[in-house]
Structure 1
């Protein structure tokens, strides 16, 4: 955060930042969107940007184009109403509309372990599919919720997608394997289930095997509500999931193409065990 940064201070930095490619700006209530967008417009080499979003009612009528922008990360507060989400999605779309975006990362204040009802970010998902489908590779929307039609469009229009992190419904989760077959480069998938009774969310090995048996063969790591399954070896994901998954807390997994679900706590124990063994040796 940078509460002392004013529009004048920001303008004074411009002559010294002409060659930078990456810029990160924290929260400053002294800066309006117009100040930030004007500043970014005067940095010709900029390709990677991280910004802090907060609600403003005096939004600029126009936003300068950022054709060189390739990666955008945005920190944002909790967005739990339709109006808040719509305003945020419009704000994002105005920034990236003229860019050939390769990576979008949303960093929310909400706990990743939160559950329950979520407002959809379908407008943002549809924009990414239509405007950035040919270029987007990393789409980390955090716990932003996408409905089935928006996800289907995303899978059809984004063939280069390698990493995807979103929230979805339980019904959409069970259909993910079928709708995602066009994502031939997808290797990392992290999903959060929302708008569902927690008593129905029993994500055991059998459920995962059935739900993702048609997932892309390129998929190597799957996480559902903080439990991770990893593919080891050369066999495709589809055939690996035909085997019963084995839970393992060992730091070195057995050889062969098997699936190992590991929670964050289990991975922490693995790392601690490895460090202890190394120090003793």
Structure 2
């Protein structure tokens, strides 16, 4: 087995990486950053998103493991004090995985430069920097509405608990293979009239956003902000690729949601009592 380890810069994460590296050195597992079988992320969801985009070209060959060194992580099943147990699970790994859908994003431009293609684990957001954004939205090539407002967010089911939720979108279980579009501060009047509620799109359909010509759009792919000029159109659909996580320890999705937004897990409560 070959693994790659990616950690954020926090002291706790760096300490966990050093300890895990030492533990792995005493086994037959090889650390290989170029062609890993498993990518281990140490930090939080942001660190795992960075790891995902680093290895996006190898998604059909690799699986991910998330170790969180803070208090909350939707993609991180292990804690930094469980490194020995994690190593045991890797040594006994049988290749089983849990997979989540991804968002396929294709961008074309008014100036006819080459189109761009991205994959997103959480969401893609399009906004204008200086004015309200105007866009014609089509679903499966049929015009649905003309939108005017601050912007639009299109999310995967796993991304539905992030920015999508904060702008009024629904939380969707990742076994539901759909994408969701949510309006950001839409303006509704006699000229511009949009639905005003999130849209959940089936996996055999796609969304096309045709934009008015401008040079101040901001395109966000997960945590990456990409200033783009002359964007003509963005097409969103469920990607053929999926992200795969090792299945040795996998927290139930609705437990993650409960721990994140409703109450702390019993594990976190026990840790707080111990720290006190």
Q: TM-score, normalised by structure 2?
A: 0.25
* Higher relative contact order (Cα pairs below 8 Å, separated by 6+ residues): 2
Comparing both structures, which one devotes a greater share of its residues to helix? 1
Comparing both structures, which one devotes a greater share of its residues to strand? 2
Q: TM-score, normalised by structure 1?
A: 0.25
